[in-house]
Amino acid sequence: MSSRHLVDPELLPFLESFPTININAENLPAVREMNRAGLALLPPLPETAVMEERFIPGPAGAPDVRVKLYRRKDGAKGPRPAILHLHGGGYISGNPEFMGPQCALWAELFDAVVVSPAYRLAPETSYPGNVEDAYAATAWMNREAASLGLDPARIAVTGESAGGGLSAALALLVRDRGEYRFCHQQLIFPMLDDRTAVRADLSPMYGEFIWTNGSNHFGWASLLGQPPGSPDVSPYAAAARAESLAGLPPTFISTGALDLFTEENLEYARRLMAEGVPVELHVYPGAPHAYMRDMRAKVSRTYMRDALAGMARGLGVAFEG
């Protein structure tokens, strides 16, 4: 049974231009190359934003982490809010450059310092390489807060898809290690639960387009180094495995109604609310995975309005979208 009849008609051209691929070990190199080629289609960064690349200390015994750093040219001299952005790609592909326009927009609108690391990917590096790289970026932002001009009390973490799942896992790790804190987590159709990949009862209305459960199974197996659904998966790999979500920062979660991750996202939001975490939850009708890549659709523009307003509230900055 197909879910195509449920897709927002304004998003159908997006589906036609973005063919669904079941990613596996054989075609992963081609998928990565296709992603890199797509960087040439990105719009230029606004002239009001400054971007620089740095290499920061990685986890003990691991390579340095490449990060992209975005700031507003005429930004405030005093401490500014900051955003740690973790890119998507199923834990197996992607790069921080792909969301460069979004990072520059945050820097411009919120006068924020935005840091986007190129964390290590699976299967070349399995868990915990990705989350430890993200933790190293968190540590660097706090350690270099004065030189970066950021306020360590106002650092938000955010990401899309695998980046959203990694953001959630990192928020758990930061909570449990107790060295730093996030003021806000913004999870955009986050990849939270490896068990989705082995569910027999998942409705065919979820995950038909863009990111399928075939790709999902490969992504999780690559990250975990074992089959998804195994009994000993760490919550710092799959945040839905956490026994408690208490003490996490206020959370914004959004997903599309046709996304493979819809049910796990709704369940994570429910658990957060049940444990006293403030949650803002959005589910957009007719929207498959990654739908907001097409800003011609009204549902995508609605998402952007909600997401920018949610980030502004999370950072404690004034914003009129």
Strand pairing category for 65-72 and 49-56: antiparallel
Residue 203: CB partners within 8 Å, gap ≥ 6? none
Helices (H), 111-152: 129-143, 145-148
* 3-class SS of residue 165: helix
Does residue 203 have an active-site annotation?
no
Does residue 151 have an active-site annotation?
no
User: Looking at 161, 215, 222, 254, which residue is catalytic?
Assistant: 161
In degrees, rounded to 5, the angle at the alpha carbon of residue 82 between the alpha carbons of residues 189 and 185 is 30
Token pair for 73: 């040219």
E strands within the chain?
A: 49-56, 65-72, 80-86, 113-117, 150-160, 184-188, 251-256, 279-284
d(CA 69, CA 294): 25
d(CA 299, CA 321): 16
Does residue 2 have an active-site annotation?
no
Residue 144: CB partners within 8 Å, gap ≥ 6? none
User: Looking at 8, 184, 289, 294, which residue is catalytic?
Assistant: 289
Token pair for 25: 């070990």
Q: Is the alpha carbon torsion for 254, 256, 261, 265 positive or negative?
A: positive
User: Looking at 8, 151, 259, 294, which residue is catalytic?
Assistant: 259
Catalytic residues: 161, 259, 289
